[in-house]
Amino acid sequence: MGRNSRIESILGSLTLEEKCSFLAGKNMWETLNIDRLGIKSLKMTDGPAGVRGSTWTDGTHTTYIPCGISLAATFDPAIVERIGDILGAETRSKNSHVLLAPTMNISRSPLGGRNFENFGEDPFLSAILASSYVNGVQKHGVGACIKHFVANDMETRRFNMDQQIDERTLREIYLKPFELAVRLSKPWTAMAAYPKINGEHADCSQFLLQQVLRSEWGFDGLVVSDWGGTNDTVKSIIAGTDLEMPGPGIRYGVQLLEAVRLGKVLEKDHIDASVRRLLELLDRAKLLDAEEAIADAEKNSDLPEFRQTTREAASGSIVLLKNDNDILPLRPERYNSLAIIGPNAQKPTTGGTGSAAVNPYYITTPYESLSQMALEANPSLKSSFSQGILTNLQPTLPGGMLRTPDGAQVGVRVEFFKGHEFQGEVVGSSHWNNSVVFMMSDGDTPEELRGQPHCYRLSGVLTPTTSGLFDFSLSNTGKAKLFIDDQLLIDNFEWTELGGSFMNCGSANRLGELWLEAGRNYDFRVDNIVVPPPIPPHDNTLFHTLSGLRVGIQHRIDEQGLFEEAIRNASDADVVVLVVGHNNDTEKEGIDRKSLLLPRRTNELVEAVCKANKNVVVVTQSASAIDMSWADQSPAIVHAWYQGQENGNALADILLGKVNPSGKLPITFPRALEDHGSHAWFPGDVENDFAEYGEGILVGYRWFDAKKIEPLWPFGFGLSYTKFEISQVSVQGIIRASEDAKAVIRANVSNVGSHDGAEVVQVYLGSSPVIQEKGRQSTPRSLVGFAKVFVEKGTTKSVSFELGADSVSWFDVHDREGPYPGGRWRVDPGTYTCYVGTSSRNISAEVTVIVE
């Protein structure tokens, strides 16, 4: 029996009740199995920063890759595909079939809390790298899921926000990465976004799902809701959202069955189409095969080649922004002392939160890697560390200070009770590695209590290593109280202010303080009643039903003394590496940032250290543009993003010259937030859930170019330890849309410096002359090609780029005679200016391209 006939046979054997249930998940990560027909469950897993598996917190270990914006900074499709290879292999090792990645939304604003997952501000760059990512994953017989379709570009009120985006902007900027990825890599699945686009939730939009995704682009894969993001039983299924996740169903299942019986949904036209696509996905994953699939336990796969690839990707993304007097690379043999300073030096930000959270095999830190590698180069080198400032917004987790009641394990014991009184028999218990729990996975809560009134108690023994005053914090989703030695310390039963934790369904931190004695054991207990949080209603069906809590415990220290110690160490050292940046309190999923500023006192620390020592290398960590008002004071600046497990090693490789920096900025750094094109419209009218994308197509560098605003650091910018020259730029051929004829841009790249290294050649194209003639919104130039090429010192290599009709096409919403209601794609004849260079502002040559 052929594939199609087998699927049609199974489809014909399903009852209507089974079909409607089948289109909702079985649990958090799996689809429904139907044993009588041999249909097995398909397992999905996050995510964009590594393959987590089925357990949200403290699950199996995995390779922790650089975040999406780091990968984008490589401008290297080959290394991104190799990262996809790792993810595909580990998806299989976690007994999963679909990886819920890559994230392909646009970094529209530097304030976007989830920008760490994206590939930057340019749709072409995003598309090419996402396609390479998907190709790498799907080599392994597992599927990728392009997300979030579409315009999930802010965290503020993300379930409710109605984003007003004109159709030209929607198609040319926000849909473009998805369109190219569908055509170049054929992903197995796509995920509908949370927000509304032009008045309609993405999962309910026939325009987005039926007209654009399926009819125009020919996507034949499965469309899955984002978790809890199925907004309407009838509208979602008619629009083509095939699968509601997670399960059991809220909108689908019983509700969908009732809609069919009432005639609001048609079994043949709507239900069968979605069931067929889900069966086809299961078939691709070999879950319809007759032989029994063995559900192996999730496995670890910490392979040397995975470590090496991750390290190469991390170092290849680091951007050298400034290097006055060639202070870099550092030469340890020339120094007697090295001071490594800053809050991110020993505790770097390795990645984002939320869907990007993973349990890594290991973490390398800037301090450990740099001091060790420098000492190898100069055994007599003296290195010191100073934290300088505290940048976390809440007390840190206690880690090894907290053990289970029997003392056997680090962490806490969690015990569950029926009802809300913490009485009767313990229904179930579990172990958590620290004082933070998030009941996000199916095994976290005993099955008999799911959906039933219940509560749980965390208990352990707290043994401080230092005497003094400790700050405590409590954040939770339900009603929680913290006790130390059975004495109530924090009561957070009645709360009304959100704090951004637990997918922005948790409370703001409630604080307490207590004097603790070193070495003494204190009974630690938190009681939490599982009830929905008292937050304004939103359209997500999942997150407000989950439960979580976090207790922070931090010894109070003399912050001014900490600051002054750092300045003294800076003054005494021959050279300083200062590592600062955002952290998981200040840049994370669930909330957007409010300004470009780094956490408190960061700018003050940078300025003071630079004043104390003339040889300072400032290393910044963030996923977005940040304020660098101190940029003129530091001779060297390195932007290091969030690099996963190789955070420290990759940075040390760059600073010590083992790897020549080649990363380029996939986003524009403005001098001030007001200079950025999104500023006037981001995040929008929060009170009325209304956001206007008023900058139109002028996203990122396009705005700066069109408005003639000088950025701090332009898109595509990044220095090297060597020097490159681009020459002999030429054009061969012309673009003819009707014949699919292409123009070929050729250029030579010469390494005229003293180090081997890689350069990214970038090709930009000017707007259509018709756009300019008609006075339509236009951008001086847009990225249409790039190539990362390694060139040995003293040699030259050639690169070439093919430009076709796609490079010059634009969507004319005023042409009502086109095939779409709002207009048509068009290619205008004429002479176009082509810019070849090494950033959006550093142009080496201009040539003309003819379009007929």
pLDDT in tens, 199-208: 999 999 999 9
Measured between alpha carbons, how far is 289 from 232 in angstroms, rounded to an integer? Answer: 33
Instruction: Assess whether pLDDT exceeds 60 at residue 466.
Output: yes
Between CA 291 and CA 297, with CA 296 as vertex, the angle to 5 degrees is: 165
Helix (H) / strand (E) element for 649: namely: helix 647-655
Which two three-digit tokens encode residue 16? 């209507």
Residue in 17, 179, 25 with CA at minimum distance from that of residue 809:
179
Question: At 821, is the pLDDT very low, low, confident or very high (cuts 50, 70, 90)?
Answer: low
Which domains are assigned to the chain? Answer: 322-392+559-663 (3.40.50.1700), 399-555 (2.60.120.260), 722-851 (2.60.40.10)
Handedness of CA 494, 496, 498, 503 (dihedral sign): positive
Measured between alpha carbons, how far is 401 from 120 in angstroms, rounded to an integer? Answer: 40
What residues pair up with 812 in beta bridges, in sequence order? 824
Residues near 439 by beta carbon (within 8 Å), at least 6 away in sequence: 445, 530, 546, 547, 548
pLDDT digits (tens, 9 = 90+) for 629-643: 999 999 999 999 999
Which two three-digit tokens encode residue 363? 């973490």
Residue type (1 letter), 349: T
* pLDDT confidence of residue 2: 58
* pLDDT confidence of residue 822: 67
* pLDDT confidence of residue 740: 85
Measured between alpha carbons, how far is 67 from 357 in angstroms, rounded to an integer? Answer: 11
Q: What are phi and psi of 694, to 5 degrees?
A: -70, -20
pLDDT digits (tens, 9 = 90+) for 257-268: 999 999 999 999
CA 322 vs CA 75, 315, 574: distances in Å: 19, 17, 19
* pLDDT confidence of residue 535: 87
Instruction: Assess whether pLDDT exceeds 60 at residue 366.
Output: yes
Mean pLDDT of 248-273: 97
* pLDDT confidence of residue 777: 87
* pLDDT confidence of residue 292: 47
The residue count of the chain comes to: 852
pLDDT digits (tens, 9 = 90+) for 122-168: 999 999 999 999 999 999 999 999 999 999 999 999 999 999 999 99
Name the one residue in this structure whose structure tokens are 């044993």.
35
Cα R_g (the chain), whole angstroms = 27
Residue in 83, 45, 90 with CA at minimum distance from that of residue 224:
45
Name the one residue in this structure whose structure tokens are 């007390």.
395
Which two three-digit tokens encode residue 218? 């020919």
Measured between alpha carbons, how far is 673 from 500 in angstroms, rounded to an integer? Answer: 23
Q: 226, 242, 444, 689: which one is catalytic? A: 226
Task: Encode 745-756 in three state secondary structure.
Answer: EEEEEEECCCCC
* pLDDT confidence of residue 16: 98
Compute how many other C-beta atoms are within 10 angstroms of the C-beta atom of residue 431.
Answer: 13
Name the one residue in this structure whose structure tokens are 């401008």.
75
Do residues 214 and 232 make contact, with C-beta atoms less than 8 angstroms apart?
no
Burial class (CB in 10 A: 0-12, 13-18, 19+), 370: buried
3-class DSSP assignment, residue 694: coil
DSSP state of 669: B
Compute how many other C-beta atoms are within 10 angstroms of the C-beta atom of residue 289.
Answer: 12
Helix/strand number for the chain, H first, E second: 20, 35
What residues pair up with 801 in beta bridges, in sequence order? 745
Measured between alpha carbons, how far is 505 from 680 in angstroms, rounded to an integer? Answer: 28
* pLDDT confidence of residue 295: 58
Dihedral (C-alpha) 243, 245, 247, 251: value to the nearest 10 degrees? -70
DSSP state of 215: I
| Share of residues in the chain with pLDDT > 90 (%) | 91
What residues pair up with 851 in beta bridges, in sequence order? 735, 830
Q: Determine if residue 548 is left, alpha or beta; phi over 0 gives left, psi from -120 to 50 gives alpha, anything else beta.
A: beta
Name the one residue in this structure whose structure tokens are 């969030």.
642
Instruction: Assess whether pLDDT exceeds 60 at residue 552.
Output: yes
Q: Which of 97-106, 370-379, 499-508 has the lowest average pLDDT?
A: 499-508
Measured between alpha carbons, how far is 490 from 524 in angstroms, rounded to an integer? Answer: 12
Residue in 289, 253, 249 with CA at minimum distance from that of residue 271:
253
Residue 47, preceding bond cis, omega within 30 degrees? yes
Residue 226 a catalytic site member: yes
pLDDT digits (tens, 9 = 90+) for 162-201: 999 999 999 999 999 999 999 999 999 999 999 999 999 9
